[in-house]
Amino acid sequence: MKRSIAIAILAVASLCMGAAIGIFNLQASPAVQAPAEEVAEEPPVTIALLSSDEEFVKAVEEQAGDKYIVRQVSSAEEITPEDIVVSYMDEAPVPEGFEGPQIVFTDAPHDEEAGKLYALVDENAAVKAAWDALYTYPTHCAPIRMLALFTTADGMAYETYTEMLHQGKLWEKGVYFVDSTGVPSEEWTKEALDGVTVGLLDTIFAETAELAKAAYSALKEADRNDSVEVICPELDQELVELMIEDHWLMGAAVGGAASNAAASAIEMVEGLLENSETESVIIEPKVIYSDDVIALYKSGVTDVTEIMAELMK
Amino acid sequence: MFPNAVKKLIAIILAAAILLPGAAFAKDELQNYDHDKYLVEVDVSNQVVTVYQKDDDGEFTRIVRRFVCTTGQTQDKGIDDPASPTPTGKWKAGTRERFGKFANFTGEYARYWTQVVGGIYFHSIMFGSREADDLKKSPYNTLGKDASHGCIRLYIEDAKWLYYNACFGTTVNIVSKGRQKGLTASLKSELSFKDYNALQSNIYDEEPMEDAQAWIVKDNTELRTGNGTNDKLIKRLEKDTELTVLQEGDPWAKVVADGREGYVRRCYITYEKGVMQSREDGKFVAGTQNLYAAPDTGSERLYKVARHSSIVVVDDQIDPDGKWTLVNYWGTLGYLQSRNIKTGWATIYDEPFATDMDKDVDIGVDAARQAALSHAEVSAEDIVMAKDGERISWNGTDRQSYLFEFYTSDLTKEYEYEIDPATGLILGYDYDAESVDVEEMKAAEEAALAAAEEAARLAEEAAKAAEEAEASSEG
C-alpha cells in the first residue's frame, strides 16, 4: 500500500470514528452507564477479548490488572450481554443483536455502526517506521548501501524497499528472500559481507526478528570495524539483549504496537464506563534505538524488561 | 552514548555555536553540526578516503565510510602539466557548494563541494554543465589515480555524504600511508559508466536552499578567479555592490557579482547591508601556519591554519617574550607564533566558537601540574614546589586557573605557570634563570618539611588515642 493511500485511509477512518462517537453516544449496557464510583460496588466488568494475537491478549491482561476480568473468547457464543467486547483485527464477528459496547481494532476502512468505537491499526506501520529509521538515523544523505533480508517479495517491506530504491535513496548490495534464496539467512549474510569491502556498507535491513538475529550473528562473526547496523521492524527481548551486547551492530528495532493497543483498549473501556467522550486513537509502534538502550543500561537500568518498558513510554 | 533527545539538544547547541558568528555559514544545509563527530582521512598513496567515528573509548577507529578518490597529480608531466599534489597535513573542513562551477577552469562543474583549504576541495567527478545527467566519463575512469589539480574528486554519493556530514571544522587529515595492495581496486565501482551515470543522476536530494545575499563594504574589492591573491583578477567591485554568495567561506567567499562568478575576501563583504561584520584592525594569519598544542614548536601540531584566516585571539600575553598567542581556531584552542599573526581586515567573531574551555569540567591539580612540568621539561623529582595548584582568577575574569610556582633543585631556574582547569592548556607562563630567591626557596622547603612533621605528629597522636580508647573499652 502506498504511504499516501495509507495516510488517507487513516484520516478517513479517524473521521469515521469521531463521527461514531459523536452520533451514537454509545448506548451501552447498564454496567457501562453506571458512574465510575458506583462500578466499584458492582461485580467487576468483564472484557471479552476476541483476539488470537497472543501478544495483544497478554498486554491487555497485564494492563487490566485486577480492575477488569479479561476473558479471551474465540466465538460469538461465548459473549454475554454484560461483556464489553474488544475485537482485535480480523476476528470472528460479534453476534447480531448484541447491544453492549464494542471496541474494534481494525486496519480497514469501516462503516459507522451504533455502539462501536474504533481504533485504527496500521499493520504496516512497523515496517514503515523501520524504513524511516533506516533512512534517517543516522542521516546518511547519500544512498544507503545495504543488504536486505526479506521473508518474501510479496510483502510491504519489499514493496517499500523497491520504492526507495527507485527514488535513489538506497543502494542495493544484496537481497535475500526466505522463501526463495535457498540458503540459511546467516550463511547468506556471511557470504554477502565477505563480498563487500569494509566502508562500503551502511545497514542491514532484516524483516523479522529471526532474520535480524541471523544478520547480527553474521556481522559479529565478520568482526568488521565499519559501522554497519541491523534495523528490524520487529522487536523482542532478545533483540534488546543484542543491543546491549553490541550496540554498534544491532541498531534499531520496532515494536510496541500490541502494548500500545492494549493500553488504548483499557483507556477506551474506562472512557465507556465513565460515559466520557472517548477520543479517536491510532495505534503507533515505537522505534527502539540501541543508543537509547545502552544509555539506559549504563545509567543502571539493567533489566531488559524494564528497559523495554521505559523506552515504550 | 546519549539518548536521542540529548543528542538533538547537543546538535542544536553545537549548531548555534557554529552559526553564531554572523550569518556567514547559515546557508549550509548540514545534517551534522558536531565538528568532532567524524575524522576524514585522505590517503594519497592509495587514493582512498576513510571516514572514522569514535568508538566507545572516544578514539576514531570505527569506519563510517570509505571510498576511492582522485587526488592531486604528483608528477610533472611536461611544462604545461606540472605536478599539483594535494597538500598533506591536518586541516579543518570549510565552506561548501551544491553544484559549483570551477571559476578558473572553463566549462567544468562538479557537485557537492566541501573545502579542505584554499582552492582544495572534496567534490564529485566533473560534469559538463549544471545538469545532473551531464557527467564526464574520463574523470569516472581515472578515479583511483592521482590526476587532479589538487582537489579530491569523488563518486557523487561520497561527495554528497561529505557535503552534508563533514561539517565546518571537521578534521581532514591528508596523509600518505604507503601502498596497500588491492585496496583501491576493491573500492572502485563495478558499474559501467553508462550504468553509473543512470544511477547517480537519480540520487535523491532535497531542493537546494536559496543563496545568501551580501554587499561589498570596501571600494576596489577584488573579484578573482580563485581563492588566492595570485589568482587572476576579474574586476574590482565598488562599495555596496550586491552579491549572491555561493560559498560562505573565510578567508574567501565564492560569489556572483555583476553576473560573474569569482572569489572575494570574506572580510570585504557583509550579509547585512550597512552593518560591518569585519574590521580593519582585526587579526588574521599572514601565511599558512601550524596551530600547536602548547607554546612550543616541538609540541603536537593540531591543525594547519590557512593563509589569511581570521583569528579569535584568546590571550596574546601568555609568555614572557610575547612569542606565542593562544587562539580559538574554529572551536579548537591552540597556539600560534605571534609573529605570524597580523593586524588588518578580518572577520569579526563577536561570539567565538565554543571550545573545551567552556565546558564545566576540571582535569584536576595533578594533570594540571603535569602540563606545567612537561612544558618546563622538568620532572617532579627535580623541583621544589612553592605554589602547587592554587586557584586564582585568570586575567581578572571569572574564569579560574591553576597556579604553579616551582624551582629547580640546583636553584638555577624559577618557573610560574597558569593552567586552564578544563583543558590543561597553558594560559600563561614565566621563568627566570638567574634571580632565584634562595631565601624564599629555603623558606618554602622548611615550611613543607614542618608541615610534613606536623602531619606525622598528628597521625601518631591519633593512633595513640585510638589505642587508648580501645584499651579502655576492653577494660
pLDDT confidence bin for B474, thresholds 50/70/90? low
Using DSSP's 3-state secondary structure scheme, residue B179 falls into coil
- Other beta carbons less than 10 A from residue A221's beta carbon: 12
Q: From B159, which residue of chain A is nearest by alpha-carbon distance? A: A142
Interface test with A, best of B203, B205, B206, B207 (most A CBs within 10 A): B203
Evaluate whether ipTM surpasses 0.95: no
Average pLDDT, chain B: 87
pLDDT confidence bin for A287, thresholds 50/70/90? very high
Stretch 166-225 of chain B: residues touching chain A, C-beta under 8 Å = 186-187, 199, 202-205
Q: What DSSP character marks residue B429?
A: E
The distance of A207 to chain B (nearest Cα, Å) reads 23
| Helix (H) or strand (E) segment spanning residue B175 | strand B171-175
The distance of B23 to chain A (nearest Cα, Å) reads 24
- Euclidean distance between CA atoms B408 and B424, whole angstroms: 22
Interface test with A, best of B64, B122, B162, B195 (most A CBs within 10 A): B64
Closest CA to B279 of B341, B349, B229: B349
For residue B52, which residues of chain A lie inside 8 Å, CB to CB?
A: none
pTM, two decimals, is: 0.77
The three cell numbers locating residue A32: 457501562
- Asked if residues A252 and A232 have their Cβ atoms less than 8 Å apart, the reply is yes
Interface test with B, best of A139, A140, A141 (most B CBs within 10 A): A141
Q: What DSSP character marks residue B300?
A: -
Which member of A168, A200, A298 has the closest CB to residue B204? A168
Q: From B50, which residue of chain A is nearest by alpha-carbon distance? A: A199
- Euclidean distance between CA atoms A17 and A64, whole angstroms: 23
pLDDT digits (tens, 9 = 90+) for B105-145: 678 999 999 999 988 999 999 999 989 889 999 999 999 99
Residues in chain A: 313
The distance of B200 to chain A (nearest Cα, Å) reads 8
The distance of A190 to chain B (nearest Cα, Å) reads 18
Which member of A171, A227, A295 has the closest CB to residue B53? A227
pLDDT confidence bin for A63, thresholds 50/70/90? confident
Query: Which of B78-87, B199-208, B280-289 has the least mean pLDDT?
Result: B199-208
Q: From A296, which residue of chain B is nearest by alpha-carbon distance? A: B3
Q: Burial of B238 by CB count in 10 Å (0-12 exposed, 13-18 middle, 19+ buried)?
A: exposed
Indicate left, alpha or beta for A51 from its phi (over 0: left) and psi (-120 to 50: alpha).
beta
Residue A291 to residue B160, Cβ atoms within 8 A:
no
Sheet holding A281-283, edge to edge: A69-73, A46-50, A84-88, A102-106, A116-121, A281-283
pLDDT at B274 over 60: yes
pLDDT digits (tens, 9 = 90+) for B6-33: 444 444 333 333 333 333 444 457 888 8
Query: Which of A28-37, B354-363, B371-380 has the least mean pLDDT?
Result: A28-37
- Euclidean distance between CA atoms B23 and B20, whole angstroms: 7
CB-based contact, A142 to chain B, within 8 Å: yes
CB-based contact, A289 to chain B, within 8 Å: yes
Closest CA to A290 of A307, A273, A266: A307
pLDDT at B155 over 90: yes
CB burial string B303-335: b at 16+ within 10 A, e below = bbbbbbbbbbebbeebbeeeebbbbbbbbbbbb
| Mean pLDDT of all residues in A206-233 | 96
Report the 3 state secondary structure along A174-193.
EEEECCCCCCCHHHHHHHHH
Which member of A140, A225, A295 has the closest CB to residue B3? A295
- Euclidean distance between CA atoms B442 and B448, whole angstroms: 10
**Per-residue confidence (pLDDT) for residue A30, from 0 to 100:** 33
| Mean pLDDT of all residues in B87-93 | 94
Q: What DSSP character marks residue A78?
A: G
Number of Cβ pairs closer than 8 Å across A and B? 75
Which member of B31, B63, B164 has the closest CB to residue A198? B63
CB-based contact, A141 to chain B, within 8 Å: yes
Average pLDDT, chain A: 82
pLDDT at B447 over 90: no
The distance of A133 to chain B (nearest Cα, Å) reads 12
Measured CA angle at A234 (ends A229, A240), to 5 deg: 60
- Asked if residues A145 and A204 have their Cβ atoms less than 8 Å apart, the reply is no
CB-based contact, A295 to chain B, within 8 Å: yes
Q: Burial of B28 by CB count in 10 Å (0-12 exposed, 13-18 middle, 19+ buried)?
A: buried
**Per-residue confidence (pLDDT) for residue A41, from 0 to 100:** 59
Phi and psi at residue A113, to the nearest 5°: -140, 140
Sort strands A229-232 and A250-255 into parallel, antiparallel or unpaired: parallel
Stretch 202-231 of chain A: residues touching chain B, C-beta under 8 Å = 202, 225-227
For residue A298, which residues of chain B lie inside 8 Å, CB to CB?
A: 1
**Per-residue confidence (pLDDT) for residue B208, from 0 to 100:** 79
Measured CA angle at A307 (ends A305, A311), to 5 deg: 120
Stretch 24-63 of chain A: residues touching chain B, C-beta under 8 Å = none
CB-based contact, A301 to chain B, within 8 Å: no
Q: From B199, which residue of chain A is nearest by alpha-carbon distance? A: A168
